[in-house]
């Protein structure tokens, strides 16, 4: 079983550098090149995008969090004694204090940052897990989560979701994976085009092996409908497939 968070929930920021933390928990890395590795997750709240399918609704569409001093976050991580830490969100890199947290964790842990690739940190990162958002992620009145008024987010999301320069800098500076959320075969041409564009501008090798296709789905039931289609696309194209192990194991339970 995942280890539950013992984070208290003050609603106002403490003195000094702090982060809005939605969850802090131990689990298995469920996605990507390190799938299966026991890891401690720090999930910040707040995002500069609004994917209609966001599986972390309470960090994006309806952000909720406890404010934690960066020192307290480090203490909570230390208490779990992991080898691997995953900083995620929301979009963790919209918070300047995430850079301080990354500095503080760098010497003791292997740190993966899960990011949408629109913000470049000036901080040490062991694995940049970059998930650029395709046009099928854009929220519309038709696909929006129940009760959500998409409002200005349709245009804002569309305008912000791809920043080629930021993506190039991320892959140049860090070990990386490009992890695309795939809703179906119609996503493949867009992935091919983006990878080609990035290869054209980035001063770093991007191997097919660094490109991961991940099925869209927040629940086991949803994944059952997408995983085989996406696995077949990966096989056909020579890209890597990544499961969503945590969904297979714990479905959509929080803190997993």
Ligand X SMILES: Nc1nc2[nH]cc(C(=O)O)c2c(=O)[nH]1
Ligand Y SMILES: C[S@@+](CC[C@H](N)C(=O)[O-])C[C@H]1O[C@@H](n2cnc3c(N)ncnc32)[C@H](O)[C@@H]1O
In order of 7, 29, 34, 115, 126, the CA distances from 177 in angstroms are: 30, 14, 10, 11, 11
Q: Is residue 115 at the binding interface for ligand Y, with CB under 6 A as the rule?
A: yes
**Binders of ligand SF4 in range 79-98 (CB under 6 A):** 89-91
Min dist CB 129 to ligand X, Å, is 7
Min dist CB 22 to ligand X, Å, is 10
Residue 181 or 208 with smaller CB distance to ligand SF4: 181
56 assigned ligand-binding residue: yes
Residue 27 binding result from ligand SF4, ligand Y, ligand X, none, given CB thresholds of 5 to 8 Å by partner type: ligand X
Q: Is residue 117 at the binding interface for ligand SF4, with CB under 6 A as the rule?
A: no
Residue 131 or 183 with smaller CB distance to ligand X: 131
Which stretches of the chain are assigned E, i.e. beta strand?
18-28, 38-44, 66-69, 84-88, 110-115, 127-130, 176-182, 211-215, 240-241
Closest residue by Cα to residue 244 from 56, 21, 110: 56
* Cis check: omega of the bond before 33, within 30 degrees of 0: no
Terminal Cα distance for the chain, rounded: 9
Size of the site for ligand Y (CB under 6 A): 19
Q: Is residue 179 at the binding interface for ligand Y, with CB under 6 A as the rule?
A: yes
**Binders of ligand X in range 210-249 (CB under 6 A):** 246
Size of the site for ligand X (CB under 6 A): 11
Closest residue by Cα to residue 49 from 178, 181, 146: 181
Query: Using CB under 6 A as the criterion, which residues of the chain lie in contact with ligand SF4 when the complex forms?
Result: 47, 49-51, 54, 56, 59-60, 89-91, 116
């Amino acid at each position: 079983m995942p280890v539950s968070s013992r984070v208290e929930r003050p609603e106002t920021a403490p003195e000094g550098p702090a982060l809005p933390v939605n969850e802090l928990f131990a689990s298995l890395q469920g996605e990507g090149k390190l799938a299966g590795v026991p890891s401690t997750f720090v999930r910040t709240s707040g995002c500069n995008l609004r994917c209609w399918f966001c599986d972390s609704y309470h960090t994006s569409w309806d952000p909720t969090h406890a404010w934690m001093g960066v020192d307290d976050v480090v203490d909570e991580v230390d208490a779990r004694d992991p080898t691997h830490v995953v900083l995620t969100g929301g979009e963790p890199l919209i918070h300047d204090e995430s850079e301080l947290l990354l500095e503080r964790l760098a010497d003791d842990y292997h740190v993966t940052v899960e990011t949408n690739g629109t913000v470049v940190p000036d901080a040490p990162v062991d694995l940049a897990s970059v998930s650029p958002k395709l046009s099928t992620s854009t929220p519309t009145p038709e696909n929006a989560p129940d009760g959500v008024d998409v409002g200005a987010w349709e245009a804002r999301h569309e305008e912000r979701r791809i920043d080629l320069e930021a993506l190039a800098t991320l892959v140049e500076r860090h070990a990386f994976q490009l992890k695309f959320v795939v809703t179906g075969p119609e996503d493949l041409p867009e992935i091919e085009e983006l990878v080609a564009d990035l290869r054209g501008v980035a001063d770093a090798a991007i191997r097919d092996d660094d490109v991961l296709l991940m099925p869209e789905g927040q629940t086991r039931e949803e994944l059952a409908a997408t995983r085989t289609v996406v696995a077949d696309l990966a096989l056909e194209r020579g890209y890597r497939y990544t499961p969503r192990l945590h969904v297979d194991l714990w479905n959509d339970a929080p803190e997993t």
